[in-house]
């Protein structure tokens, strides 16, 4: 006998809740380019694995299905703000459905190198309406913890300039109309950081001083993570589980990992 | 935030069940219209064609398909539809957003979500559906959006789309050509 989507949703949500602090957590690393979040994400993942967790990493704009399409259009500089946003939302949705939610249901830790807030900050900095963005990305599985790596526009700019020339969309040249990628980046990243700072307040990010020494940041992250583990499962994630359950072939058995 | 259309020209929307019928049906619709005209077809952006060529081993869900469809519609508005309207042409968008709304309804996605995705899309002046008799065999995934979705969702969705369009005709929101 097959299980209805509603029953499947109920069963999965109950099982996740019963696991309490032993459930898989979704931990997002957010911040401007050059804020050092990827370095911290790698250190954190290594530490989690050492602690005996099964860890899945998901990176921004990385789905096998949609990333190549975005990449080709970025190279051609052929997409505008709305298309940029819709394509990234599609990439995110695909990863949420095929990587993130299945891993969480199996009880794994999911470490996201950028999450929804990257889209909100960048697309809002490009002039798109925040409520439209939130609709595009819904229903969302909200992260248990968001580490936000706070850095000044100057530091971000210096760190990027030390290694490479910012790319066209990264520098926001599609919206600034400035030919010099470094100058465009300086202006655009200022707007992105402004959006991030507002989001940090609204969504209660855990702010990390990204200008502190690397290992000090890592120790702070470990400590904050351990303190945050006791948080209950946010029940508003049920909508995302229901949406996911609706897509599953009815004959498939889905269980929560041990 | 719907894009504004220029006062010149006319935008007509047309939905077809078989992607191979898109251009012939649009030409039929334009036959009685005098002056310059144009046709904007699905996947002008090449998103779906490129995705079909990838060996990703995974199929997109209806939500993902709709987001990609919206990106393609935006591309068509920006590069084909609005410039042609500015030149005073009568443009047939085949398909337009009702095909997206139909997929949303078929897949059980909330109507509010689908409306929000297409918030930027301006309304067509008139809307039509082609009076087709479905061929027995479904065309290939790159022939049309309905075929692409049918392939991704592993079922022939034409009867469901037909029923959605029939309903619009019954309600007087669509005319049949």
In this prediction, the residues of chain A whose per-residue pLDDT falls under 70 are: 1-2, 249-258
- B5, part of any domain: no
- B2, part of any domain: no
Task: Name the one residue in this structure whose structure tokens are 């957590």.
Answer: A25
**CB contact (8 A) between residue A136 and residue B67:** yes
Query: Cα–Cα distances in Å, from A132 out to A86, A112, B2, B149?
Result: 11, 23, 11, 25
CATH number for position B140? 3.40.50.300
Number of folded domains that form chain B: 1
Distance CA B17, CA B176 (A): 13
Residue by residue, DSSP assigns B115-131 as HHHTTTPPPPSEEEE--
Angstroms from B90 CA to nearest CA on chain A: 25
DSSP state for residue A60 in the 8-state scheme:
T
- B76, part of any domain: yes
Is the distance from CB of B2 to CB of B120 less than 8 angstroms?
Answer: yes
Domains and CATH numbers, chain A: 25-244 (3.40.50.300)
- B50, part of any domain: yes
Closest by Cβ to A89, choosing from B45, B67, B78: B67
Task: Kindly indicate whether the ipTM for this predicted assembly is greater than 0.90, answering yes or no.
Answer: yes
- B1, part of any domain: no
Angstroms from B43 CA to nearest CA on chain A: 13
Structure tokens at A161: 């300039």
- B4, part of any domain: no
Consecutive H or E run containing B143: none
Q: How many CB atoms lie within 10 A of CB A68?
A: 15
This prediction has a pTM of 0.94
**CB contact (8 A) between residue A129 and residue B117:** no
pLDDT at A252: 47
In this prediction, the residues of chain B whose per-residue pLDDT falls under 70 are: 56, 134
Residues spanned by the domain of B161: 10-176
- B91, part of any domain: yes
- C-alpha angle A92-A94-A97 in degrees, rounded to nearest 5: 105
pLDDT at B53: 83
Distance CA B89, CA B79 (A): 14
Chain B neighbors of A80, CB-CB under 8 A: 74, 78
B155 touches chain A (CB under 8 A): no
For residue A242, the chain B residue with the least C-alpha distance is B109
Rg, C-alpha atoms of chain B: 15
């Amino acid at each position: 006998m097959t299980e209805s989507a509603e029953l499947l949703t109920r069963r999965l949500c109950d099982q996740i809740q019963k696991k309490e602090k032993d459930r898989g957590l979704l931990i997002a690393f957010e911040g401007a380019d050059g804020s050092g979040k990827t370095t911290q994400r790698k250190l954190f993942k290594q530490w989690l694995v050492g602690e005996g967790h099964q860890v899945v990493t998901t990176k921004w704009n990385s789905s096998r299905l949609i990333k190549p399409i975005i990449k080709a259009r970025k190279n051609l500089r052929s997409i505008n703000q709305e298309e940029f946003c819709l394509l990234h939302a599609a990439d995110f949705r695909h990863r949420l459905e095929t990587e993130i939610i299945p891993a969480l249901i199996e009880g794994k830790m999911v470490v996201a190198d950028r999450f929804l807030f990257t889209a909100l900050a960048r697309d809002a900095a490009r002039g798109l309406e925040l409520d439209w963005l939130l609709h595009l990305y819904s229903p969302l599985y909200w992260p248990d913890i968001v580490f936000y790596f706070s850095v000044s526009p100057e530091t971000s700019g210096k760190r990027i300039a030390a290694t490479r020339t910012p790319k066209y969309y990264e520098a926001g040249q599609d919206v600034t109309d400035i030919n010099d990628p470094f100058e465009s980046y300086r202006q655009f990243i200022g707007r992105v950081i402004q959006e991030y700072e507002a989001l940090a307040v609204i969504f209660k990010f855990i702010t990390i001083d990204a200008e502190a020494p690397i290992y000090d940041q890592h120790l702070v992250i470990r400590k904050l993570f351990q303190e945050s583990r006791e948080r209950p499962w946010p029940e508003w994630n049920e909508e995302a589980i229901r949406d996911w359950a609706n897509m599953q072939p009815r004959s498939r058995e889905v269980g929560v990992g041990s | 935030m719907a894009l504004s259309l220029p006062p010149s020209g006319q935008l007509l929307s047309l939905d077809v069940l078989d992607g191979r019928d898109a251009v012939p049906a649009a030409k039929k619709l334009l036959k009685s219209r005098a002056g310059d005209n144009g046709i904007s077809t699905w996947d002008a952006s090449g998103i779906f064609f490129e995705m079909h060529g990838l060996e990703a081993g995974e199929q997109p869900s209806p939500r993902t398909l709709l987001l990609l469809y919206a990106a393609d519609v935006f591309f068509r508005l920006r590069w084909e539809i609005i410039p042609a309207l500015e030149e005073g042409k009568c443009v047939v968008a085949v398909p337009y957003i009702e095909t997206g709304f139909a997929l949303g309804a078929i897949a059980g996605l909330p109507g509010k979500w689908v409306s929000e995705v297409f918030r930027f899309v301006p309304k067509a002046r008139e809307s039509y559906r082609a009076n087709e008799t479905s061929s027995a065999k479904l065309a290939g995934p790159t022939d049309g959006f309905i075929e692409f979705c049918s392939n991704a969702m592993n079922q022939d969705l034409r009867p469901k789309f037909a029923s959605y369009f029939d309903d619009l005709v019954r309600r007087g929101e669509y005319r049949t050509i």
